[in-house]
Amino acid sequence: MSSDFKKTEEWITRANKERCAAPNGGLCWGKVIWNGKLINLYTNKDFINYIFTQPIAPTLPENKTCMIADFGAGNGYVAQTVVSQLEQPCVIPIGIDRYHPDLKVMKQEKCLVQPIVKPVQGDLRKRPLKENFLPFKKNTFHAGIFRFALSFIGKNFQPQVFKQISRVMKPSAVLVVLNYGVFEENEKNVDAHDILYAKGSAASGRWTFENLKKNMHDPSCEHLIDMAEEAGFEVKAKTDLTDIALGYTSPEIYKKLYRLNSDQHEKLKAVFEKCKEKGVLPFEPDSLGVLRPMYSCVLKKKAPSPSP
């Protein structure tokens, strides 16, 4: 296992290097080994099919126009891919994001497959709850996608994000979440995970650790389920992907991603060493490579109980 891990890490590191040398800068993040192949989990269509399309497809009503929301959609790639994989003829994908640049990208995206995701600006986080801070009526969506956006929403805001999503989804609609984070709630490893990734990203000098620690949080799957249940969802499935889709991070990978100077790289190595000493994240024994904990979760909005 250990030498396999090493090989895997070398493979990912090399792939990241190659991607960084790409004329457009490439995207290093999200490289994982899945089913024995190196894939990018952001763009691989089979992986998107496995995580999102398969749980969503059987839940959509037949012969009806369906609305699917991608919450924190970025450039809308996931919604676009899911809709292209569904056999449903009339599905309207809506990509909701709070930032203009993403919406712009979504509008300009030269999509090879139809239909194109409709961009809508909306903030999943805004207060107070009473206001309709997502510009949709109650019970609008037949399904939802929520991929890697929750982390960008501060810890204190996360419970209300689920309430907000629940409000705009139809009863019995399915929401599929893909998130970085540890599977089971344990204060030590949840914190170690947040600290490692905040320190890693801060090493680039583009953000401060304090800011990242305050504004970014990857909840455990267990905690995410608590928040979702509180907002009116029930759990249909949950999968710890840490061992299924092996995604490595190491100081070398950060270095390639952010082009750190040698001083920053050394500091970052010390961060990984300290985190490894604590033994709360899944480090590879012979290196500073750490498996990127990740999980997916299929949630179903509960139908209201019939009045007595």
The residues that touch ligand SAM, with contacts defined as CB under 6 A, are 42, 72-74, 77-78, 97-99, 102, 123-125, 147-149, 152-153
Give the CA dihedral 20, 116, 139, 236, nearest 10 degrees.
Answer: -50
- CB atoms under 10 Å from CB of 95, counted, come to 31
The CB-of-112 to ligand SAM minimum distance in angstroms stands at 17
Is the Cα torsion angle 60, 65, 70, 74 positive or negative in sign? positive
Nearest distance from residue 30's CB to ligand SAM, in Å? 9
d(C-alpha 154, C-alpha 144), whole Å: 21
Nearer to ligand SAM among residue 60 and residue 103 (C-beta) = 103
CA separation for the pair 150, 120 (Å, rounded): 18
Shorter beta-carbon distance to ligand SAM: residue 97 or 194? 97
User: In this complex, which beta carbon is closest to ligand SAM, that of residue 139 or of residue 215?
Assistant: 215
Report the residue number whose CB is nearest to ligand SAM: 74
For residues 148 and 248, which CB has a smaller minimum distance to ligand SAM in the complex? 148
Give, in degrees to the nearest 5, the angle at Cα 293 between 289 and 296. Answer: 150
Q: 221 vs 280, which CB is nearer to ligand SAM? A: 221
Nearest to 245 by CA among 200, 198, 295: 295
State the nearest-atom distance from the C-beta of 294 to ligand SAM, in Å: 12
What is d(CA 98, CA 117) in angstroms, rounded to the nearest whole number? 15
| Shortest distance, position 157 Cβ to ligand SAM, whole Å | 7
Rounded Cα–Cα distance for residues 280 and 191 (Å): 9
Quote the least distance from Cβ 162 to ligand SAM, whole Å: 13
